Every structure is written in C-alpha cells, then in structure tokens.
Structure 1
Amino acid sequence: MRREPVANSVDAWLKRLAPEQRAALEKLRAQILAAAPGAEETISYGMPTFVLHGHLVAFGAFKKHLSFFPMNSVVIAENADALEGFVTSKGTIQFTPDKPIPAALIGKIVKAQIAQNLEVASERAAAKKAKGASKPKATK
C-alpha cells in the first residue's frame, strides 16, 4: 500500500480531509489560536501541532473520530467532569464533527497548557542559571 507524503503545512493537512472533518478541525484551530495568540503552527508526528514555549496542543483526524491532544495528561484529569461524554485517555480527547469539545473548554485547556509550558521554561532557565553559577571561573 502506498502512503501519501506527510503534509508540510496545516492548510495542506486539512485539505486532505473530508469536508465535515475539515470544518470541525478548522473551527478547533481557530479556537486554539484565539486562546494562544502567537502560537506557531507546525506539523509534528504527522499532525497539526501548536507550539508556544514548547509543544502546546495538537489535533488529528481518524476514520471514526477526531482527536485533540493537550500534551499533558494532568489537564485531561483536571477537566474530567467537563469531558464526561467524550472518550478520553491520558493524552487525547476524542470527539466527532457533530459533537465538538466546547469552545470554552478548549480555551481553558490551551491556557492551562501555556501556563504549564511557561512554568517548565522558567524551571529550566533557573536550573541552567544555577548550573552556570556553580562552575568555577577560568583563570588566566
């Protein structure tokens, strides 16, 4: 079986989908970008991924469902009540074009992931600074 080459942009990736899947994911894309102004779009692991201070969220399309990937299992667990009725796992929320994830919940999840990414970036910067401060100075 011949595989199609990986799309090189989110627009190209979306164009390959059935119209109802494309419409649902274009709406999700707009919600993500509204919640994360400045996020960069890329294709990572063959799916549209949004990057802001690290990987933020991604989405995918499958034969019988669509998936939203928050890149953080904690945010899915923290929103378990709001996600009742959706199929979830540690890393994904499955939905369909006729039963999308509520926009307010998408915004909440994206903003929580931005906060998580900023926290991790801050911790890394502090660790790097501390490591640099503990190195002995070179003498001439």
Structure 2
Amino acid sequence: MMTSELRRFFDSPAVREILENPQYERLRQEANDDMWHEVTAYWLNVNRKRRRVTQKQIAKSLGITQPGVCQMLKRPATIGKLWRLCRAMGGELEVNFVVDGKRYPLLGEPDPSDPDAWMLSPTAEGRAQQ
C-alpha cells in the first residue's frame, strides 16, 4: 500500500509532468543505459587495478594502443568489448540467464547435463541425440 507521502510525491504536478511526457520511457531507458555503462566501466577499472594490470598491458594483448584502451572504456559496453577486455586481463566473461535458481550460461560451453545441450553441438541434426 502506498504511503500518503509517496502518493503526494507521485501526484505532484512536476512529477506528473515528467511521467506523462511521451518521451519519458525513451529518456528513462537512455538514463538506465548510461548508468549501466558507468557502473560497468567503474568495476572493470577497479578489477583491472586490483589485478595490477595496466592499460598498456591490455593494449598489447589486444594489439591496440593504450589510448585505444582508454577510449574502449569510455564508450558504451558491449558483450564483445567486455569479453575482449576480460580475456586481456587474464579472465573470462560469464553471462548467465537464471530462472528458478537454475543458471543457464549464454556464453561458453553448455552444461553437458543440460538435456538441450545437444542443440549447441556443431554436428546437431535438429533432434535430441540418443
């Protein structure tokens, strides 16, 4: 149940104007994307420094310049970019989908005990292998 203070907040003209703006959803999503990028860049740098890995070392591993690494960290994060940076720091990127406490990896090798793992085999023929 909404408290009266919270109700007054959402009923205020200024907040109503923001929420009723046709651009609100787009702007909210852009703000979320920007925040995700900032948080990701922050934690990449924290972990890079914890491992005592320099941008110059990453650049050498990736075959680019140190300013190129700096620019990579300033641009929006993509799975590919995160994967390359993690590998260059000696790690690996894990992306998982979790449903009802069960973890399904989206990158890398499937769990062999998963009954649907056969679908990811390069020789899969479109049916479960017996």
| TM category, shorter | under 0.3
Greater relative contact order (CA < 8 Å, ≥ 6 in sequence) = 1
Q: Which has the higher strand share?
A: 1
| Larger gyration radius, structure 1 or structure 2 | 2
TM-score (norm 2): 0.28
